[in-house]
Amino acid sequence: MGGDGTLDRLKRKGRIVVVGASLAGLRAAETLRDKGFAGSLTLVGDEPYEPYDRPPLSKGVLLGKASADRTALPRLRNVDAKWRLGVAATGLDMGARRVRLADGDEVPYDRLLIATGVRARPWPHEGEGALDGVIVLRTRDDSAALSRMLAAGPRRVLVIGAGFTGSEIASACRERGHHVTVAERAAAPLVGALGGVVGAVAAELQREHGVDLRTGVMVTALDGDAAGRVRSAQLSDGSSVRADVVIVSLGATRNTEWLYGSGLGAGPRGIACDAGCRAFDIRGIVTDDIYAAGDVARCPHPLFGYQFLTLEHWGNAVAQAEIAAHNMLSESVDRVPHMEVPSFWSSQFGINIKSVGVPSMGTEILITQGSLESRRFVGVYGYQGRVIGAVGFDSARWLPFYQEQIEAAAPFPPEFSTVDRRTDGQRPVDADFPDPSVPTHGPTVTLSGYAPDDRRMTFVPAH
C-alpha cells in the first residue's frame, strides 16, 4: 500500500459509521470487512429491525407468499458491527466528525457512509392521512399493517398513484380478490417511468384484471366516518369512491433533512456526490471522508452526460454501497467510479417488467421485438439520436443486448432487423412522457442537472 500510512491506520483501527441500516448499508458493511477493514464499524438505523429486503413487501408479502416480518436480508459474511437500531441520526458535525443520534448520543467517525434512503411521501393533508385505513407502503411495518387490513376483507381498496408500487399493490389486491380502484393523475399508469406508449399497455393490463382505473384525475379529499375510519375519497372529476382501505402511493421523499445545516450538499433531491460516491459539501467541494450510497445519493453518470442521477433501484444500492466501501479504503488512484447502467424491475398482473438505462430520458420509442398488443415486447428509447433506455415486458433475456447498446451509445433508431419484428416496430413514435416540469409519482430515476448544489425545492402533489 502506498501513501503515508494514513490509509493503513484507517484500515487497522479506524472508525467507520454507516447511517442507514438497509440494503446499501448492509452491503457496504460487508464489503468493508471483505476489503480488510479491521477497525470499528457502527451501523445506525431508524427502524428497530435488522436490514431487510423491501421488494417482497409490495409483491410476495401481499400475495401471502412471504411474511412482512420475515424478509431480513441474507448475510453474505460476518460484519462484526455495532448496531444502533431503532434510533435515527439527527445531525452531522462535519468539523468534529460526529453523527448525532435521536437518543442524544454522538458517534465519532473517521469515515462516514450515508445510506438513509427514502421514505414514502405521506398524504399531504395530515388529518385525512391519519384516518384509520389510510396507509403508505415503504417499510415492513407498513406492509404488515396493509396485510392485516387486506386480511380483514375490505369492501374496496383505493390506490392513489399508479407508479410501480401503486400498480404492484393493485395487482396483488386483485389477485386476492379485492375490489380495487386506482386513481392516477396522469393519463395512464407508469407514464413517469416508461412514457405514455407503454403506459397505455399498463392501463389495459389493469382494466383487464378488473381494476377500476381512473386516469387524469386527482384525489381531492379523503372522508372519514365518526369513528375516524376512512370511508370515501373525492375525485377532481366530481365523482367519489367508497373505500375502506386507501393506499397512498405518491412516490418517495429523500431522508436528508437531518443533514440540513451541516454544510453537506444535501437537499430534497438527495446528497450530491462524485462518480466515486464521495459527497460534496454545499460549496461544491468534494469531501474525502463522507460518502453516500443508494436511493439518497445523487451521482453524475458518465453514460448520461454526467448529469446527476438519483436511482431508486435495488441494484444501484448494492453497486454504490460496494463502490463507496471500496473507495473509502483506497488511495485516490485505486478508486473506482460508479458506471453501472441503471436497471429496474417490477412484476404486476403476471407480467415481468424490466428496464435498463434511463427510459424517462427518451423522447421516442421503437418496439423492436414483439408487440404491445401481445404484452410481450421490447421497447427501445431514443434520445438525441442514440439509444438511452429499453423496457421489456416478459422479455428479460433480451435486455442484456440493449444494455450493451446503451453502453455503446448506439444510434437510434436502430437500423438492424431483429427476430420478432412486427408492424409496431417499423418506425419510432413519440414516447409520450409527461411534461418534465410536472413531477410524476415514483419515476425511480430522477435527473437533476449538472450542478452539485441542490435548490431547496419541495414537491407538493397538487391534491
Partner 1 sequence: MTLSLLHQILDYSNRSNPYPLYEELRKTPVYREDGGPYVVSTYYEIRSLFHDPRISSDTRNRTGSAADPLGGDSHEEAALPPSFLKLDPPEHDRLRRMTNRPFGPPHSPHRVDGMRPELREIITGLIDGISDPSRFDLVEEVSYPFPVTVICRLLGVPREDEARFHVWADTLAASLDPDPDADSADRGKVANEARMQLGMYLAGLIEERRKNPGDDMLSQLATAKGEDGPMTTMELLSTAALLLIAGHETTVNLITNGMLTLLRHPDVLKRLRREPGLAVPLVEELLRYEPPVQLVPQRTTLAEIEIRGVTIPKGSPVWLVLAAGNRDPQRFKDPDRFDPDRPDVQHLGLGSGIHSCFGAPLARLETQFALSELARRLEKPRLIEDPPPYRQNAVLRGPRQLHIACDGIRP
Partner 2 sequence: MVRIAVDLNRCQGYAQCAFLAPETFAMHGEEALLYNPEVDEAHREKLLQAAAACPVQAILVDAVDVPAKAVSGGR
- Residues interacting with partner 2, by CB under 8 A? 48, 50, 53, 55-56, 59-60, 63, 65-67, 70-78, 83-87, 101-103, 105, 313-315, 318, 343-345, 347, 350-352, 354, 394-397
Per rule CB under 8 A, is residue 417 in the interface with partner 1? yes
Residues 382-411 interacting with partner 1 (rule: CB under 8 A): 397-401, 404
Pick the closest to residue 249 from 347, 146, 364, 350 (CA basis).
Answer: 146
Give the helix/strand (H/E) hosting 352: strand 351-357
* The one segment of 50-58, 216-224, 412-420, 431-439 that binds partner 1 by CB under 8 A: 412-420
Cα angle for residues 162, 462, 134 (degrees, 5° grid): 55
Cell of 420: 420478432
**Alpha-carbon separation of residue 398 from 370, 382, 387, 395, 421 (angstroms):** 11, 17, 15, 6, 13
Per rule CB under 8 A, is residue 343 in the interface with partner 1? no
Q: How far is CA 18 from the centre of its chain?
A: 19
State the minimum distance, in angstroms, from the CB of residue 378 to partner 1: 8
339 makes contact, choosing from partner 1, partner 2, none, with CB < 5 to 8 Å by partner type, with none
Cell of 311: 436511482
Near partner 1 by CB under 8 A: residue from 333, 416, 423, 460: 416
State the minimum distance, in angstroms, from the CB of residue 350 to partner 1: 9
* Integer Cα distance of 246 and 155 in angstroms: 11
SS3 label, residue 446: strand
* Integer Cα distance of 196 and 363 in angstroms: 11
Pairing type for strands 245-248 and 134-136 reads: parallel
344 makes contact, choosing from partner 2, partner 1, none, with CB < 5 to 8 Å by partner type, with partner 2
Per rule CB under 8 A, is residue 456 in the interface with partner 1? no
Cell numbers 399508479: residue = 162
The alpha carbons of the chain give a radius of gyration, in whole angstroms, of 22
Near partner 1 by CB under 8 A: residue from 90, 236, 363, 418: 418
401 makes contact, choosing from partner 2, partner 1, none, with CB < 5 to 8 Å by partner type, with partner 1
State the minimum distance, in angstroms, from the CB of residue 216 to partner 1: 32
* The one segment of 75-83, 252-260, 370-378, 438-446 that binds partner 1 by CB under 8 A: 370-378
Which chain residues interact with partner 1 by CB under 8 A? 368-370, 374, 376, 378, 397-401, 404, 415-420
